[in-house]
Structure 1
Amino acid sequence: MDEKVAGTAATAPTPGTPPIEHEHDIEKPDILHADVLDNVVLMNEAFDGENYEHEQTLWQSVKQHPWACFWAFTMTFTIVMESFDMFLNSNFVALSYFQQTFGVVVGKDADGNLEYSIPTRWQSALFQSGQCGAFVGVFLAGPITNRLGYRWTTILALVMMNATIFISFFANSLTVLTIGQAFEGVPWGLFIANSPAYASEIVPMALRGACTATLQMAWSIGGIIVAAATLAYNNRNDVWAWRVPLALQWIFPTPLLILIFLAPESPWWLIRHGKRDQALKSIKRLGARSEEHAHQSLAMMERTVEIERKMGGTPTLLDLFKGTDLRRTTITCLMYASQNFAGNLIANQATFFFEQAGISTDKSFQLNLINSCLGVIANALSWLLTGWFTRRTIYLWGTAVNVTLLFVLGIVASVHQNSATNYTQAILGILISFVFAGTMGPISYTIISETSSVRLRALSTGVGRAAYYVAEIPLIFLNSQLLNATGWNVAGKCGYVWGSTAAISWIMAYFFLPEMKHRSYREIDILFNRKIPAREFSKTQIDVAENE
């Protein structure tokens, strides 16, 4: 648990009351955000706006900003497409007819029937190709978003998604399917780079944790749809066993494109690009309780944007690796990369993991559907956790629990195997996925969205996600090698590997992860610029009148 830390200037006015009555109505139309630091009226309104956000509870924010929550969820739901394909590929390699069509014979079952498996190199290619495309996409996301904004960048990506699905759908070989996945990966990169940034910028402080955590729910929803589709088509003995699940991808882009077109642009992005009037309209659409409150929120944002502008000019990728921004970029990259080190790859290849643990094919698909449904429940619980506990607490305890479960999984897989140990491994795999979906997964997105400066956010989330792929691509190959019958075939003993990497993630987070709950973006900027140690963030007082 933590206590809310918010500095208050001795001369700051009571929140909600303008310090100079009617004066702002005369001055504001001619004032740019560059003038905010020198204008007493705007500074007082900025104080009011920030103090009001500090005072709002989670429930108050939800009631006042339902549309902000809706648009944040709409944007984060674009992640369902990356999730869908990731889970789909892992299910393809477990589909009987897919194995027979594209696989190699690895032996016979108890009834004398031939058993097939997709070769490890092709498993890795299928899992990695989309991530390679996404790696390209995340680097494109920052420059494109800085120019077009979050909305139009996402609309462009949704159009690309509709087009690239055709390649995978009509693929008649593993080569073409792999190429199709690579092309689909490019828009994924745009989605994953923009979603946490947009969600964190359109909701008030109290909602940042819950709304950015919905990225993990979108991931779980994609898993549920895939699990249900592949379970339904598992026993088909024709190409539609995998083509129908592939075609289901088309249900997402067009409806989302229409919704995103209707969504407001991030007011932070509009202010950074000098579109003050549009930013004010966006703030009102997102739930400003009155005209006065809208102007206070605008002044608060203008103040932060101007403080950051004085620290650096036009944002570039190189800025991410200079001065205090290097520390912020490192934290973002570590948070993203560590998602692969705490057992998440078991969740992403759950059906295949269950099969390798000794569970029948039909039961594996059923367990995968249960696993995906539990992931949504875990993510819903994470919304409550973000309100009750700090970011560090959730991340550290969640990681510690999974370290324990992963080593237990390894131990169970090391003893004499029978039906009981097979199901124990499957249950442990589900528990590991559940803990990840309720703790490290969602809270990582919250930490990522809060860590970067507003000025560099579009670039930072893109580079951070690139670090995720840099870690994931070789680890996917390692996980396939660990699980595949044509590889090392160690099944649950992979728990020793992922338990060790999760333990390293815990140690890194303990020493380097700062606490940013209940902090405005201005306060976070100041804390990083003062080079406050990570474990001192929550204890450091920042006055509402301080700019540096």
Structure 2
Amino acid sequence: MRTFSGNVLPFATKDRVPNSSVLISVLLVCCSMVTSTTFGYDGSMINGLNILPSYANYFHLNDGNTTTLALNTASVWIGGILAGLSFGKVTDIIGRRPSLFWAAVLTLFAVILQTAAQNVAMFVAARILIGFGTSASALSGPAYLAETLPFKWRAWGLGIFNDFYYVGGLIAAGVTYGTSFMASTWAWRAPSAVQGVFSIMCIVILPFIPESPRWLVYQGRPEEALKVVALTHANGNVNDPVVLAQYKEIIDTIDYEKNVAEPLSLAQMVKTPSARKRIILCTSVAVFSTVAGNVIVSYYLGSMLTNAGITDTTTQLQINIILNAFSLLCALAGTYYVDRIGRKPTAVISISSLTIFLFLVGALTKTYGSSTNTAGIYATVAMIFLFQGAYSFGWTPLLYVYPPEVLNYAIRANGMGVLQFALNGTALMAVFAFPFALQNIGWKTYMVNAAWDALEVPFVLYYWVETQGRTLEEIDALLDGVKHSNAPDLETVIRREADGIYTEKGDERQDLKE
């Protein structure tokens, strides 16, 4: 272990970062994925609570009070919108690690408030704070991972970051099923209390991981940044040619961006054609992934199953558990293929498949939803599984793989704020509107949603830029038309090192040092 004197966290007098690059990468991912685990837990928990009679009775949701149902469920996105508007600048000022710390602390406080809720107002206020905390983490975490992980690990790290949405969902589904047999209000309070465990895990891991090297360079701390690059790429060896090439790329590119007018400002996001394209690409991921139809499955599975012909509460809760486990497997498969076949092909496969399956969910719900045909009802449930599997295969990993890749450092934190604003704003609209749509037009809701999904395919095919196999600085070259460093591409350096071209006294290694 070595002492690392990056920006020190409020609770630590000394950070202890291990020398192992693999261990650091694992800890980075574990710390950041707490965010998606918390969010996935929240979605599945609310899904389960909306099915529980004790929750519905406590908040008087059985009186046909669709507005309260929608508000209790959707209020988390209000906090997310506020975080998207404000927390990007915080992340740039205080650093990526402290931002994750304070987001975790706020989420933990909000979970306590939610667990102790005495009325709708208190419950909604707590959920707004949970939304702020989790979205602040979702803003800082991907930027942190993208900037700190070795580029060979980046897609896996960012993909798993959001794949753990379903780990949280699976845990919540199991917890709400277990507490559903309680007669008291702890049937819904206990699942809420468990939600705070993930924030505690994040706080515990933070002292053992370094700050983003790109943030350190921007703050005028290049020596510390070199140590971080060495720790994450070569077990602390600052003379490794891959470390030197990556470090030079970072130094040169950050130096270029610091000389751009109005660095780290909101205006910079719309100032140039390449910056505008980056924001459009980022926003497209937020909007497309949110209104794909998954919101219905994630938050109103009970209503969806009731419309399909399955009305038993216990059966609905059991389906919720199985669906989360299935979705996790599909998300992990998608994370594997994101780095194998690329971002664009993965997105196109996912969107095309989920569109077909959502049309089929609508058709089968219309045909068998009010019937006693067991085969038809099971077919509807199967289509719901296939739809969620297709969504999980593509959008679950891509949501946090693609945006931080296409955003350059100068706008990455604020751009992730735009992502969270668009994501939470769209989700707020969808989560609040869907219960009314399901109540009034039923199966037609799926048809309308699927028709929208079909429009996403041509946009991804013709507008998205493929980012597979490149460092963040090399992706900048794709969008800007020029690389802002004369360092060789890392793939070239890795191949040359493998072939034995670099030696300790070789001229090329010396060039990289300089």
TM bucket, shorter chain? 0.7 to 0.9
The match for 1:81 among 38, 49, 63 is: 38
The match for 1:304 among 247, 250, 253 is: 253
| TM-score w.r.t. length of structure 2 | 0.84
Aligned counterpart, 1:108: none
Aligned counterpart, 1:213: 159
Aligned counterpart, 1:24: none
Shift of 1:377: 1.1
Q: Check whether the contact 1:355–1:361 (CA below 8 A) recurs between aligned residues.
A: no
Aligned identity (percent) is 19
Give the Cα separation in 2 of the matches to 1:197 and 1:260.
15
Q: Check whether the contact 1:328–1:452 (CA below 8 A) recurs between aligned residues.
A: yes
**1:252-263 equivalences in 2 (<5 Å):** 252-263=198-209
Query: Which has the larger displacement, 92-101 or 414-423?
Result: 414-423
Aligned counterpart, 1:181: 127
Q: Deviations over 1:152-190 (max 9, x none)?
A: 011111111222222211112222211111122211121
**1:383-398 equivalences in 2 (<5 Å):** 383-398=335-350
Aligned counterpart, 2:189: 243
Structure 1 residue ranges without an equivalent (≥5): 1-62, 105-115, 532-541
The match for 1:443 among 398, 402, 418 is: 398
Shift of 1:146: 0.8
Aligned counterpart, 1:372: 324
Aligned counterpart, 1:282: 228
Q: Deviations over 1:353-401 (max 9, x none)?
A: 2233221211110011001111221122123212320110000111000
> Following TM superposition, where does structure 1 have runs of at least 4 consecutive aligned residues deviating by more than 6 angstroms?
none
Q: Check whether the contact 2:110–2:129 (CA below 8 A) recurs between aligned residues.
A: yes
Aligned counterpart, 1:136: 82
The match for 2:297 among 333, 347, 356 is: 347
The match for 1:473 among 428, 446, 471 is: 428
Q: Check whether the contact 1:210–1:382 (CA below 8 A) recurs between aligned residues.
A: no
- Is residue 46 of structure 2 the alignment partner of residue 94 of structure 1? no
Give the Cα separation in 2 of the matches to 1:162 and 1:387.
34
Q: Check whether the contact 1:200–1:449 (CA below 8 A) recurs between aligned residues.
A: yes
Cα-Cα RMSD: 2.3
Q: Check whether the contact 2:282–2:419 (CA below 8 A) recurs between aligned residues.
A: yes
- Is residue 355 of structure 2 the alignment partner of residue 399 of structure 1? no
SS at match of 2:259: helix
Matching residue's letter, 1:456: I
Give the Cα separation in 2 of the matches to 1:388 and 1:298.
26
Cα pair distance change 1:118/1:437, threshold 3 Å: farther
Q: Check whether the contact 1:409–1:493 (CA below 8 A) recurs between aligned residues.
A: no
Shift of 1:118: 5.8
Shift of 1:457: 0.7
Shift of 1:447: 1.1
**1:54-65 equivalences in 2 (<5 Å):** 65=22
Q: Deviations over 1:172-218 (max 9, x none)?
A: 22222111111222111211111111111112222221111112222
Matching residue's letter, 1:348: S
Q: Check whether the contact 1:346–1:429 (CA below 8 A) recurs between aligned residues.
A: no
Matching residue's letter, 2:446: G
Give the Cα separation in 2 of the matches to 1:472 and 1:268.
31
SS at match of 2:408: coil
Q: Check whether the contact 1:226–1:245 (CA below 8 A) recurs between aligned residues.
A: yes
Aligned counterpart, 1:291: 238
The number of residue pairs the alignment matches comes to 459
| TM-score w.r.t. length of structure 1 | 0.79
Aligned counterpart, 1:457: 412
Matching residue's letter, 2:348: L
Shift of 1:272: 1.2
Aligned counterpart, 1:43: none
Matching residue's letter, 1:399: I
Matching residue's letter, 2:393: G
Cα pair distance change 1:270/1:117, threshold 3 Å: farther
Shift of 1:281: 2.1
Q: Check whether the contact 1:76–1:199 (CA below 8 A) recurs between aligned residues.
A: no
SS at match of 1:292: coil
**1:308-327 equivalences in 2 (<5 Å):** 308-323=257-272, 324-327=274-277
- Is residue 97 of structure 2 the alignment partner of residue 169 of structure 1? no
Give the Cα separation in 1 of the matches to 2:269 and 2:204.
33
Matching residue's letter, 1:249: Q
Matching residue's letter, 1:438: F
Q: Check whether the contact 1:76–1:218 (CA below 8 A) recurs between aligned residues.
A: yes
SS at match of 1:182: helix
Shift of 1:493: 4.0
Shift of 1:83: 2.1
Q: Check whether the contact 2:104–2:134 (CA below 8 A) recurs between aligned residues.
A: no
Matching residue's letter, 1:260: L
Give the Cα separation in 1 of the matches to 2:234 and 2:255.
22
